[in-house]
A and B are shown apart, each in its own frame.
Chain A
């Protein structure tokens, strides 16, 4: 467990360093970006250099950046002239809501499809795997556009944009969750079918267990093991997809902040979003690692 934490910290440090290197590589003078469209005199420039500590050697700036990160200080946004932490804090909520809803939708759909179609007739399985193929091949924003034009514009069931109320969460969560359901559904069904062919399944059937009880009590646990290894892909799809889905549905959130920062070359904000996603990745993969131990007693030790 301690080793796990160590690896996590190393990943975070590397992500911080990588984003710092990105900042160094960014063309254009930081001072130019900070001056922006405001008055531009040598005195103002000198003031900015002194205020942001830009005259220090790069290694000192890097170390002080790491030191401030350790204290939870993410720096100040060039564009908004506010603390990055403060900016992100107001936007984390909607994004967490969206990603959790999408993850829930994806997992629930995948589980339902896998349980209903595993080992069934060829047509049902064919239809399910075709649906899965399409859902992993379509970019989430396209799924979002299709959902919007059917359920918002044609049927008028859900709002077109914004984040007011649970109604506005349905379509974004579906758009982000469907690709996950596709991949996870395939893996789960494959796992279930393999589990249902194993000796323990035969034994369970011989004991007179119904097929449903067999799936619920024995096979599902086996099917979950390969699914857990998809954690990295899963997190990446959620966080990356959230950016596009937020822009498409006009939802507030980290994605919108990241977009604005990228267009405005507001590097401290971009760096903070990247770091935050690395933190999320480390947290989620550690959690799933723990889940793995619960699911698979063989590696508990």
Chain B
């Protein structure tokens, strides 16, 4: 007969093999090792790309165009003879940089708007909440395109566009958290002691609504990287010859038949980045939910 409950379905011998240290007992610590290592490598590529490759990502060498991966070019060379490895490494700064900047902007704005909505009188809260709703009915990419139509293409405009599209996600969660926190005992107590409103918001409300943010931001960062590569793929992001993963893929599209490596490596970079962020985000989420429930 099949096993009915989740608890029973786990084979008992697994617990015997686990090391005694409680820090390692949690499921998936080894699973986390690889994504965290890859994300560290990515951070290194953003901070100091020169350490990972000696080649210049913009140096064209037409005589060596579309060279397959080999000793000279580990990841091959593109249609202008530029080193694909160098472009992938330096591209991290654009692709991940845009994602980080957009996510940070969205978190900050979402935090501000969510707090404002949660602490405002009812009519203002309603108005803000409705506008978050309307913004989130529009597809993220179309909203970003609308913003780019206004501002024109370019790195900072894409950051702004992605941030605008993501703000409602954060604002909604913060608003809901604020509702919970504003009636908590410590806030009531601080109010009775007559502490200034702003000090209470900064000292008591803010730290306590931040709980879900790390999880949301990790997953949101992955989504922002996808959105930024998508917008760059459409030619809205950093302009050529800048190395950006989405833009590299857009160029590589024309050489798919002859040079798979020109598309493969930037594609792999995007995929690994987002997969790692998603895995880490979900793990954080599980831990967070475990703590609160």
Contact = CB atoms under 8 A, between A and B. Distances in A.
Contacts of B235: 263
Nearest to B257: A153
B262 to A, nearest CB: 11
Nearest to B5: A197
Interface string A135-153: 0111111100110110001
Interface in B125-159: 130-131, 133-143, 145-152
A277 B144 CA distance: 13
Nearest to B144: A240
A237 interface: yes
Interface in A140-183: 140-142, 145-146, 148-149, 153
B134 A18 contact: yes
Contacts of A258: 142, 145
A142 B226 CA distance: 10
Interface stretch (B42-50, B57-65, B70-78, B267-275): B267-275
A240 B140 contact: yes
B229 A270 contact: no
Nearest to B1: A205
Nearest to B135: A18
A278 B150 CA distance: 19
A139 B234 contact: no
Contacts of A19: 146
A139 B230 contact: yes
Given A14-B131, A26-B150, A248 B253 contact: yes
Interface in B1-34: 2, 4-6
A278 B138 CA distance: 6
A270 B149 contact: yes
Q: Main SS of the interface on chain B?
A: helix
A171 to B, nearest CB: 13
Interface residues of A, number: 55
Contacts of A262: 145, 148-149, 236
Given A14-B130, A281-B137, A133 B149 contact: no
Given A19-B146, A149-B260, A241 B141 contact: yes
Interface in B206-257: 222, 226, 229-230, 233-236, 246, 249, 252-253, 256-257
Contacts of B6: 197
Most buried by A among B141, B151, B270: B141
B78 to A, nearest CB: 15
Contacts of B140: 236, 240
Contacts of B229: 139, 141-142
Contacts of B137: 11, 15, 232, 278, 281-282
Q: Main SS of the interface on chain A?
A: helix
Contacts of B111: none
Interface in A1-35: 10-11, 14-15, 18-19, 22, 25-27
B146 A139 contact: no
B253 to A, nearest CB: 6
Interface in A250-288: 258-259, 261-263, 265, 267, 270-271, 273-274, 277-278, 281-282
B96 to A, nearest CB: 14
Contacts of A98: none
Interface of B: 2, 4-6, 130-131, 133-143, 145-152, 222, 226, 229-230, 233-236, 246, 249, 252-253, 256-257, 260, 263, 267, 270-271, 274-275, 277-279
Given A137-B277, A258-B142, A265-B149, 20 more contacts: A10-B130, A19-B146, A22-B147, A25-B150, A26-B149, A27-B150, A119-B2, A139-B233, A141-B230, A141-B249, A142-B249, A148-B256, A240-B139, A243-B234, A248-B233, A263-B235, A265-B152, A274-B142, A281-B137, A282-B137
13 contacts: A15-B138, A19-B146, A134-B275, A138-B270, A139-B233, A141-B229, A211-B2, A243-B234, A244-B230, A274-B146, A278-B138, A281-B137, A281-B139
Interface of A: 10-11, 14-15, 18-19, 22, 25-27, 119, 133-134, 136-142, 145-146, 148-149, 153, 197, 202, 211, 232, 235-241, 243-244, 247-248, 258-259, 261-263, 265, 267, 270-271, 273-274, 277-278, 281-282
Question: What are the nearest 6 A-B pairs in CB distance?
Answer: A240-B141, A240-B139, A236-B139, A137-B274, A14-B134, A262-B149
